[in-house]
Amino acid sequence: MNYSRNILVTGGAGFIGSHLIRLLVNKYPQYRIINLDKLTYAGNLRNLEDIEQMENYVFVKVDIIDKDRIKAIFQEYAVSDVIHLAAESHVDRSIEDPMEFVKTNVLGTVNLLQAAKENWNKDGNHIFHHVSTDEVYGSLGAEGYFEEVTPYDPRSPYSASKASSDHFVMAFYHTYGLPIKISNCSNNYGSHQFPEKLIPLMINNIVHKKPLPVYGKGENIRDWLWVVDHASAIDAIFHEGRIGESYNVGGLNEWTNIDLVRHLCRLMDKKLGRADGESEELITFVTDRSGHDLRYAIDAGKLESEIGWKPSIQFEEGLEKTVDWYLENESWIKQVTDGSYRGYYIQMYDNR
Ligand code: NAD
Ligand code: DAU
């Protein structure tokens, strides 16, 4: 089959990457989707079981730090485009061990940019879409929104590494004319998110009646977007966004952490047939995260006015779908946290 595009999606076995790959392989049979992933603790091929047999899908187990393997993949699969999601993504881990974040998020991104620059013809119809975060803009007070022109002000090792990668992506556009696009998204929630992040961690702890650790007073604010809507935004920006531009993606859906956790408790008390207020008793205020950003809020007006993208569902509906998925997929949580399922795939691909 002659594919019209050979799109390298990095980090496709992770949370957002797996939703994006599912969308792309189903919607675009004319494209070949090459999922490149190292399968860290956060990557799990079980996330893609439903599509792994599709003809236009390929998986390769590669570390983006490995520049020779990256170069080889570009040639072997005639890579025409990149949608780059592979990253160390958890802020708390970056506080513990910043160097892994520098390696994957900064050096890994530069390796991919170099490979694209070396392999792509200047007149070719290529796109390097870098998936980034709103955390590069720093922290807001009670008022205002992050816009694409907001100056970068990263404050955690994670956001510093993502900001650095964004700057390299823009530098390759300005210096070498590499056809890039960047999207900066707010907090995602949905199925298949590793249970170290706020929402799946709380769901799992509520199920098992474990303490619900709320950092500080729980007054920090995040803007939550359903992961399927983030995948549709990436699709829209990849196809319709302008080269050399960045686009903010968000849900206009701000919650303090404590309100969100209480809402989850009430929802899950109903689902689990518990007395009203039973799960709220599990809430435990713990030492705050160092340098904890107070508030993130996205102005996604550019994406809406230029491309017409909007979130498809309300938060309450998305959250209920998410809770239902975790309740129906307890074995997934068990397997990603004990590593057993991922281990099987690692062996299979290591032995190739
Ligand atoms: P995730 O941690 O769930 O998945 C990351 C994936 O990258 C995993 O499959 C992992 O195996 C892979 N990976 C890590 N290091 C690698 C390496 N060196 N080489 C190859 N693969 C590697 O992350 P996520 O939440 O799905 O985030 C995906 C991207 O979206 C990241 O770039 C993140 O910064 C960005 N983002 C995330 C959110 C969010 O709320 N989760 C919001 C905005 C932007
Ligand atoms: O804004 C986009 C970013 O959102 C992404 O770039 C990151 O990859 C993603 O991890 C996420 O970062 P956050 O730090 O906002 O997400 P996290 O789920 O870790 O935390 C959400 C909020 O909840 C934050 O204010 C910290 C708080 N929190 C988190 C955990 C894990 C708690 O109060 N208790 C917890 O146990």
Query: Ligand 2, atom 4: nearest CA belongs to which residue?
Result: 187
Ligand 2 near 87 CB (within 6 A): no
Distance 76 CA to ligand 2 centre (A): 38
Q: Find the ligand nearest to 296 CA.
A: 2
Query: Is residue 351 pLDDT above 70, yes or no?
Result: no
φ, ψ of residue 215 to 5 degrees: the values are: -70, 135
pTM of the model: 0.97
Percent of the chain with pLDDT over 90: 93
What pLDDT shows up at residue 169?
A: 98
SS3 146: strand
Choose the catalytic residue: 81, 135, 235, 293. Answer: 135
- How confident is residue 350, by pLDDT bands cut at 50, 70 and 90? very low
Query: Ligand 2, atom 8: nearest CA belongs to which residue?
Result: 89
So what CATH class is 191-222+254-295+314-346? alpha beta
Identical fold between 5-188+224-249 and 191-222+254-295+314-346: no
Query: Is residue 10 pLDDT above 90, yes or no?
Result: yes
Distance, in Å, from the CA atom of 279 to the CA atom of 262, rounded to the nearest integer, reads 9
Instruction: Please say if 66 is a catalytic residue.
Output: no
Atom of ligand 1 nearest to the CA of 158: 34
- How confident is residue 352, by pLDDT bands cut at 50, 70 and 90? very low
Query: Is residue 343 pLDDT above 60, yes or no?
Result: no
What pLDDT shows up at residue 341?
A: 61
Ligand 1 near 104 CB (within 6 A): yes
What pLDDT shows up at residue 346?
A: 47
Q: Taking residues 181-198, report their average pLDDT.
A: 97
What pLDDT shows up at residue 342?
A: 57
What pLDDT shows up at residue 345?
A: 46
Q: How far is CA 236 from CA 116, 129, 190, 246, 300, in A?
A: 21, 11, 20, 13, 13
pLDDT per residue over 20-33, tens digit each?
Answer: 999 999 999 999 99
pLDDT per residue over 141-165, tens digit each?
Answer: 999 999 999 999 999 999 999 999 9
Ligand 1 near 191 CB (within 6 A): no
Q: Taking residues 67-94, report their average pLDDT.
A: 97
Domain chopping of the chain, boundaries: 5-188+224-249, 191-222+254-295+314-346
Q: Taking residues 76-90, report their average pLDDT.
A: 98
Query: Is residue 273 pLDDT above 50, yes or no?
Result: yes
Tell me: domain 5-188+224-249, CATH 3.40.50.720, correct?
yes
Q: Taking residues 64-68, report their average pLDDT.
A: 97
Query: Is residue 134 pLDDT above 50, yes or no?
Result: yes
Instruction: Please say if 135 is a catalytic residue.
Output: yes
Q: How far is CA 44 from CA 155, 286, 329, 333, 337, in A?
A: 29, 30, 14, 11, 11
What are the start-end ranges of the E strands in 238-296?
A: 246-249, 254-256, 283-286
